[in-house]
Amino acid sequence: MALHDENESSGPDAPLLAESNAFRQGDSAAAPSDDGHAASELQYLGGWFIWSLTFSAGLSGLLFGYELVDHFLMRKYFCSDLLGSDLSGRPLTTLDESLITSCTSLFALIACPFTGVLADKYGRRRIILYADVLFALGAILQASSSQVWGMIAGRSVVGLAVGSASAVTPLYISEVAPSHIRGRLVVILALLITGGQVVAYIVGWGFSQLPGGWRWIVGLGAAPAILQFATILLLPETPRWLMKMGLERKAVNVLRRIYRNSPSCDQIIQQVMHSIKGEIAAEKLQSEPNENQQSSSRWLGDVYQRAHSLFGEGANRRALTIAMMLQALQQLCGFNSLMYFSGIIFSALSFSSPTLTSLTVAGTNFVFTLVAFVFIDRIGRRRILLYSVPVMVIALILCALAFTSLNISLEPQSTVPGQETGSAYPVIILICLTIFTAAYAFGIGNVPWQQSELFPLNVRSIGSGIATATNWGCNFIVGLTFLPMMKWLSPTWTFAVYALVCVVGWLVIRGIYPEMSGLGLEEVRGLLSEGWGVEKTLRRQAETRHEQRV
């Protein structure tokens, strides 16, 4: 059905039109633009319900972080003899190694876009539960495998779990969070990812000393999944998804639990419901339901329409570009190569305990994500990136320069000649990499996970799925290219390439990423409809600051 004239008010779609128009025009009496930003509301930090809900959902981050490092440990220890001949009664062939190390990210990549579609059909919460089952199943399959194929199967199942959890969890948290603390709540996910990485390093370090310890390393991944399954069972769906399914009463009940401790609970609920209804009405006006279709083909038609709207509508295309660009930069800046290969780099630099030095990287990552948690809603996503990416560039360039004075080889047991004579360069490199990690964790390490807020409800799930697939695709590329680049291009040029990627990323962020802090989820469609919205949000921010001052 074509869009009606804005003023038309009769006919079967009249109520829908009224809702969608009031919503689009931002009718300030009936439809304030946000989740209710009364001054008192901005002080509201959410009750225990929203925080415990975020932590339970965020356990996916812990699992995802744990699996990321576990993935690295597998890669590293296949080269040593952690697995020995435990699988199939023989040493692993190169093909075994390649399959085992690549299947997790490959399946994660495949799972993301499907998760986007399934989370619309079955709900966000149910997909988290399915992912938990897959995490536990994958961990058990790996820990109990005696054959190479069992290990490959287990790691592929974990890949599906990681992909779907990483796509759906930020979506779930964004859709339940009050808008003025949404940034922080999503950072909890990043905090748990980095926490999971620290835990995995410690577990890997401890168990790699024991015979058959790898079974514990992979098997322990089941524990947080079981815990999360039990807690998510007790939690509700997001109000946005419930409304989309026509379950208005349930949606209101969830909102009541979220805003229970807020001084203006009823008013906020009314405002949020108004915004969601407006968005759903606008979406219905654009879609063309065919009552004669069978439900399966109606579902496929619906998926097609969402994909069409995602790629066809300017606002959605812009949202997708921003989300994918941020996820790509998060990976292509090379941070994970540091996570994966820091042990190798530090042993080549002759540090006495490379594993402990790698733990410093993971620990710094965790601590500075915590700093981002405190500041993100105050500073804003865009500004945090504009401040932190240049620090990453400087640290990378210094690292590249320091490498010119060292002649390192990444072959096992190789050392740096200068180190014996007390060269300061390895320490300079360690300091630069720590600064790089801190700046990364403060900004680009967590901001891309705010991705769901960029998309309107009808394409939020699919858009988030595709953005997450970009993350996994680029993660895969960096993991695959880092060592060859170090070898063929030299460490200096490898770090220089990462610095260049960051410079380009910074320029793109400056040009196209609007400030999303404090915006209601339903405001975004209007923001990106005529351009990138950067000016608009900066003006709005300046006005708010001015109002707060007077």
Ligand X SMILES: O[C@H]1[C@H](O)[C@@H](O)[C@H](O)[C@@H](O)[C@H]1O
219 vs 448, beta carbon nearer ligand X = 448
347 vs 475, beta carbon nearer ligand X = 475
Q: What is the DSSP string of 322-388?
A: HHHHHHHHHHHTSHHHHHHHHHHHHHHTT-S-HHHHHHHHHHHHHHHHHHHHHHHHHH-HHHHHHHH
170 vs 426, beta carbon nearer ligand X = 170
DSSP class of 36 = -
Q: What is the DSSP string of 79-134?
A: HTTSSTT-STTSPPPHHHHHHHHHHHHHHHHHHHHHHHHHHHHH-HHHHHHHHHHH
Closest distance of CB 369 from ligand X, Å: 7
Closest distance of CB 478 from ligand X, Å: 9
DSSP class of 265 = H
Angle in degrees, 0-180, between the axes of helices 457-488 and 295-312, rounded to the nearest 10: 60
Closest distance of CB 61 from ligand X, Å: 8
446 vs 537, beta carbon nearer ligand X = 446
End-to-end CA distance of the chain: 49
DSSP class of 179 = G
Residue 157 in tokens: 């199942």
DSSP class of 208 = T
Closest distance of CB 324 from ligand X, Å: 14
Instruction: Determine the Cα–Cα distance for residues 9 and 283; give it in Å rounded to an integer.
Output: 18
141 vs 325, beta carbon nearer ligand X = 325
Buried b (16+ CB within 10 A) or exposed e, 438-461: bbbbbbbbbbbbbbbbbbbbbbbb
Closest distance of CB 362 from ligand X, Å: 8
3-state class (DSSP) for residue 28: coil
101 vs 475, beta carbon nearer ligand X = 475
Closest distance of CB 476 from ligand X, Å: 11
336 vs 537, beta carbon nearer ligand X = 336
* Phi, psi torsion values for 399, nearest 5 degrees: -60, -45
Residue 485's CB is within 10 A of a number of other CB atoms, namely 19
Closest distance of CB 142 from ligand X, Å: 20
68 vs 281, beta carbon nearer ligand X = 68
Instruction: Determine the Cα–Cα distance for residues 484 and 107; give it in Å rounded to an integer.
Output: 24
Which residues in this chain contact ligand X in the complex, by CB under 6 A?
A: 68, 190, 193-194, 197, 330, 336, 339, 365, 445-446, 471, 475
Residue 499's CB is within 10 A of a number of other CB atoms, namely 21
Residue number with the smallest Cβ distance to ligand X: 445
Residue 20 in tokens: 């969608």
168 vs 339, beta carbon nearer ligand X = 339
Closest distance of CB 366 from ligand X, Å: 8
Closest distance of CB 70 from ligand X, Å: 12
**376 HSE (CA, 13 A, CB side):** 32
Closest distance of CB 194 from ligand X, Å: 5
Residue 72 in tokens: 């690295």
262 vs 475, beta carbon nearer ligand X = 475
141 vs 187, beta carbon nearer ligand X = 187
Instruction: Determine the Cα–Cα distance for residues 263 and 272; give it in Å rounded to an integer.
Output: 15
Instruction: Determine the Cα–Cα distance for residues 161 and 142; give it in Å rounded to an integer.
Output: 14
Residue 444, amino acid: I
Closest distance of CB 144 from ligand X, Å: 28
Helix (H) or strand (E) holding 160: helix 148-176
Helix (H) or strand (E) holding 48: helix 48-79
Burial class (CB within 10 angstroms; exposed 0-12, middle 13-18, buried 19+) of 382? buried
Closest distance of CB 367 from ligand X, Å: 12
Residue 216 in tokens: 């514990």
Asked whether the beta carbons of 520 and 275 are under 8 A apart, the reply is yes
Closest distance of CB 471 from ligand X, Å: 6
187 vs 282, beta carbon nearer ligand X = 187
218 vs 339, beta carbon nearer ligand X = 339
